[in-house]
Amino acid sequence: FSLFGTLQFTEVMELAKNDAYLPQEHFGMWGLASWIALGLFIGATGKSAQIPLYVWLPDAMAGPTPVSALIHAATMVTAGVYMVTRTNVLFQKSPTMMFVVALVGVLTAVWAASMGFTQTDIKKVLAYSTISQLGYMFLACGVGAFAAGIFHLYTHAFFKALMFLGAGSVIIALHHEMDMRRMGGLARFMPVTYKTFLAGWLAICGIPLFSGFFSKDEILWRTFSTEEIPGGRWLWLLGFLGAGMTAFYMTRLVALTFWGEPRFVVAGGSGASHGHDEHGAHEVRESPRVMTIPLIVLAIGALASGWIGWPESLGGTNRFEKWLEPVIWHRAEGGISPMVEHGEMALAEVGAHAEAHSAIEYLLMLASVLLAVGVMYGCATLYLRRRDRLEAIVRAIRPLYIASANKYWVDEFYEGVFVRGLTLGLSRLSWRVDTRGVDGGVNGSAWMTVFWSKVSGWFDLYVVDFLVNAIGAMTKLFSTIFRMAQTGFAQNYALVITAGLFLLTALYLIISW
């Protein structure tokens, strides 16, 4: 506000485009734009659960599943991505902060995906999946593909809300059971939930024609080809790795929940319950229409919502990106195009460059799809037919498995350092200041008040009262003496007067002598 004199988005963005207000920085510089962008991004990391402020989102899954679907996947938690996009001018003024955004995003995507490998709570897996997908959105913003980030936000809202509501349908059917180790075989009991959940699974894994394919592929391609920041291909490699990890943990979720044999535990028994809850009162059955109809609608969105961003490289028009064009600033605006500057030769070079880029894009797109399909097939094989191989792999990487299952002890670290260390330490310090400082001052003031009240009482008793009583005693004494002269006889008074006259006369004579 002190720089621009307003907090209105449109006014701030227009003023920020002017280098007179906010100078353009180069990579490696850290100026005013970097400080502004850093402050905004710290808020975005907390709001959108990015490293290191992501631990709250899995804990928030304790709330109702529809809340998780709407707030913690589709809307509220994505507000940080929205803010970064709306303030894209401020970030583009600082390539250094753009790199920071991209790096934090891609590291969050991989980090959260690695924790999704070992979680057993179905909602926790989806929570870490949400954190990972938010990382992809920030990766897109960091490489300058703000429209691609919002596009993934849009498609992610459909397939992630679908999977959260599908998980809620499963939880209700199993009477609030959320441990995937006690599920399995639900495809035969809940066909609508299963088929709609498959749509979300295929979308998040990036299978062609599903929405996630278009948005995630757009992010990976823009990362690979970015010229906004250095290291784009290394960032792409991490994003590519994260895509494979996503396919693995989501296939694991589907396999443990819907495939294989039922593993519904009966209280007091062992083995599968064959569709009974722990009280043996109800069979597992499909959810009512009030729950399945939203699943069907969202499944359609998980399939078709990405078509609005059909890329030009595949014969589309990418209407979504064109729709966002007015709010995305391009630093090249106002510059001279290569065709105008160099003529037909430059035009030919640009055309050849575009063809080369298209070929690379097709190759990367194919690699992404093959990776997803291969990982999905391999994961399904391990969990359904090669459990012995899976157990052998787990034994081989047991330290990593334990670390992932315990979320790398980040929660415990925060608990020890910030809650019990910093927060509890500050609370103890505050307690000591309160008891020894504030209370000491109050108690000292009370003691001084009591002390001076005693001094005042002593002074009043032995000084003030003494003087008052002394004056009274003296008055009484003199009044007694003077009262002796009052005899009531006239001859006594005449005698005193005569004696007084003689005394005064003698005194006069002595003085005048």
Identify the segments of the chain with pLDDT beneath 70: 1, 265-282, 332-357, 485
CA 328 – CA 325 distance, rounded (Å): 5
The predicted pLDDT at position 76 comes to 87
In the chain, how long is the greatest CA-to-CA distance? 154
Kindly give the interhelix angle for 211-224 and 344-384, rounded to the nearest 10 degrees.
130
Read off the amino acid at residue 190.
Answer: M
pLDDT over 90 percentage in the chain: 51
What are the respective helix, strand and coil percentages of the chain, to the nearest 5? Answer: 75, 0, 25
SS3 call for 342: helix
Nearest to 92 by CA among 2, 22, 182: 22
The predicted pLDDT at position 267 comes to 40
pLDDT tens figures, 359-383: 888 999 999 999 999 999 999 999 9
Peptide bond into 52 cis (omega under 30): yes
Q: What one-character DSSP code corresponds to residue 284?
A: -
Domain residue ranges in the chain: 9-333+349-405, 419-512
The predicted pLDDT at position 354 comes to 52
The predicted pLDDT at position 265 comes to 56
SS3 call for 430: helix
169 token code pair:
């349908």
CA 295 – CA 168 distance, rounded (Å): 11
Tell the burial category of 444 from Cβ atoms under 10 Å away from its Cβ (0-12, 13-18, 19+). Answer: exposed
Contact yes or no for 202/301 (Cβ under 8 A): no
pLDDT tens figures, 162-199: 999 999 999 999 988 899 999 989 999 999 999 999 99
Tell the burial category of 266 from Cβ atoms under 10 Å away from its Cβ (0-12, 13-18, 19+). Answer: middle
Tell the burial category of 429 from Cβ atoms under 10 Å away from its Cβ (0-12, 13-18, 19+). Answer: exposed
The predicted pLDDT at position 348 comes to 47
The predicted pLDDT at position 376 comes to 96
Contact yes or no for 153/78 (Cβ under 8 A): yes
SS3 call for 308: helix
Tell the burial category of 119 from Cβ atoms under 10 Å away from its Cβ (0-12, 13-18, 19+). Answer: buried
For 281, list phi and psi in degrees, rounded to 5.
Answer: -105, -25
SS3 call for 386: coil
Say how many residues make up the chain: 513
The predicted pLDDT at position 161 comes to 94
pLDDT tens figures, 8-57: 878 888 888 888 788 888 888 888 889 999 999 999 999 999 999 999 99
